[in-house]
Every structure is written in C-alpha cells, then in structure tokens.
Amino acid sequence: MPTRVKSALQVELNETHEKQVDLKEKPVEKNNGIGIENFLHGKVMFIAGATGFFAKVLIEKILRTMPGISKIYLMIRAKDKEDAKQRLKNEIVDVELFKFLKQKYGEHYEAFMYSKLVPVVGNVGTSNLGMEEDLASEIAKEVQIIVNSAGDIVFDQRAREFGWRNTYGFTKALGEMLIDQMRGEIPIVIIRPSGILSTYKEPFPGWIEGIK
C-alpha cells in the first residue's frame, strides 16, 4: 500500500478513535421525563384512602423516586390520632412494598417515613371528610395536590334502582359529576383503572395484598 494512502487511513482511524473516546467520556444527561419530579419537589400532597392498595403503591413510588417532596398528608379511617398512627405503621411503614426504602435509609428509615407522612383521621363517607375543622383549614392552606383513592366498598342492591350495578360505581360517578360541577378553575385529573392486580415491575414484580 502506498505511503500516502497509509497516512490518510491512519489519520482517519485516529479521528474515529478520538470520537469514540469522547462519546464514552461524555456524561449521560438525566432524562427528566415530563417533569413530574421537578413539579413535586417541595410540594405538599393530600391522599385520601391512604391505606388502600393503589395509594400504597403511589406513596412508595413518590418517596423512592422523588424524596424532595415536602410532606404527604394521609387520610386514614381511624378512631383517633393514635389509632391512625398505628395504622400508618402497620399498613404502610412496616409493609414489604417499602423494602427498597428500608434498604436505602437503613436505621433512619422510620425517621424518614415519619418526616414525610402525616396521618390524618378522616372518613370520605362523612361530612367535611370527618376531619377536625382547624386541621382541615390548615391542610387546605398547605396542600397543592390532592389524590383521592378512597371509596365506599359496600356492595348492595340499592344502586340498581338507579340503573347501576352497585353502590361502588354509582357513588364514584356521582362524585366525579360533583367534582366537574364545583371545580371552577382548579385543574382536575380523573383516572379510572380497569382493574388493579399486582405490581408489574416497580418496586418489584408481583407484590399484592387483599386478595379476594
């Protein structure tokens, strides 16, 4: 091979190698998705139906991937504050679903959880959500995001008089219509999953509870 051709080929190979090295050394930029993480940073949430399957998975996801959230009020049906705290421990903090958070924070796990999660005595089926007036006012001033995954799960025949299969679907429909009428300028998202089974991938496959 002529010397001139060899030199040109060597230069090309060197340039290719330099580009490959540059690509390897260049840091990978973090993909922020649609911006949920940034949006939730420093925010205060209120979750109704906090001890239900869906809410637990949501709480775990937020605390694991967005620990910058300020606080999450959890509405729990309970006799009093102590009972609500006990349900928080038994049905959320001590549950296997949160094992990766336990591994991450170790002996500081409970301190982290209680710094983020605030149990609130309430009942979605009662007036003013069954909450103390002063506490409800305080929460209303602090909270920027509300997630309602609570519902009356008493299935009976009364709803059939109105053309509904059960009270569960009937009361959900009523609630959604009221929200639409009263929301004013507040942005609302209503999500109705077709069915809730076990976890698919996160935080690990196959977690489920309350099999019926």
CA gap 180, 173 in Å, rounded: 11
Query: What tokens were used for 171?
Result: 């009361």
**Number of residues written out for the chain:** 212
- The Cβ of residue 179 has, within 10 Å, a number of other Cβ atoms equal to 13
Instruction: Give 27's DSSP letter.
Output: P
Q: Is the dihedral of CA 156, 160, 165, 171 positive or negative?
A: negative
Query: What tokens were used for 26?
Result: 């260049």
CA gap 192, 33 in Å, rounded: 23
- Residues carrying an active site annotation: 168, 172
CA gap 26, 20 in Å, rounded: 10
